[in-house]
């Protein structure tokens, strides 16, 4: 189970790869588990805990997640060769490493902590992505 890094914008892909490398060096390997999501995939995630079985995992409907624009990814720490969702200390450690690279970490969010989530907006707002007001040449 691993996500396709090629679906991320080049600058975000490079940051994700650097994060994986640094985490490996610091003895905290990670797996990127999610990158780009289609609007339909995002809507299906949004339905969880609402109109579909499961726990709520996102507050973002399709088009309202930076995953829909290739500038966000989710990770899981690897413990004994498998993703581990319970070791919050490892999520926090990776979060600090990612922030050191300039990534925004969802673990710092106050209203809806999203420890597995990183995004890189380069100063753009969600609305800029939604309205196509993003200079694509800056992402190369």
pLDDT at 112: 87
Proportion of the chain above pLDDT 90, given as a percent: 95
Digit-coded pLDDT (tens) for 11-53: 999 999 999 999 999 999 999 999 999 999 999 999 999 999 9
pTM confidence score: 0.94
Digit-coded pLDDT (tens) for 122-139: 999 999 999 999 999 999
Question: Which regions of the chain does DSSP assign to beta strands (E)?
Answer: 30-34, 72-79, 82-83, 104-105, 117-119
- Domains of the chain as residue ranges with CATH: 5-35+70-124 (3.30.1380.10)
Q: Torsion angle of alpha carbons 82, 7, 15, 74, nearest 10°?
A: -40
* Radius of gyration from C-alpha coordinates of the chain: 15
pLDDT at 57: 87
Q: Which residue has the tokens 């790869």?
A: 17
Quick one: how far is CA 110 from the chain centroid? Answer: 17
Digit-coded pLDDT (tens) for 85-133: 999 999 999 999 999 999 999 999 998 899 999 999 999 999 999 999 9
Mean pLDDT of 59-76: 97
Cβ atoms < 10 Å from Cβ of 32? 21
Contacts of 113 (CB under 8 A, 6+ apart): 106, 107
Structure tokens at 68: 């829909």
Q: How confident is the model at residue 2 (pLDDT cuts 50, 70, 90)?
A: low
């Amino acid at each position: 189970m691993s996500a396709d890094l090629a679906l991320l914008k080049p600058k975000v892909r490079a940051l994700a790869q650097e994060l994986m490398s640094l985490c490996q060096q610091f003895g905290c390997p990670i797996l990127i588990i999610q990158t780009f999501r289609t609007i339909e995939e995002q809507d299906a995630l949004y339905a969880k805990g609402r109109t579909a079985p499961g726990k709520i995992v996102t507050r973002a409907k399709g088009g309202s997640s930076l995953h829909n624009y290739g500038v966000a990814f989710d990770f899981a720490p690897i413990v004994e060769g498998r993703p581990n969702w319970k070791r919050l200390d490892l999520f926090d450690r990776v979060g600090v490493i990612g922030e050191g690279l300039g990534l925004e970490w969802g673990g710092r969010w106050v209203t809806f902590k999203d420890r597995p989530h990183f995004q890189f907006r380069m100063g753009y707002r969600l609305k800029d992505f939604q309205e196509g007001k993003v200079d694509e040449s800056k992402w190369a």
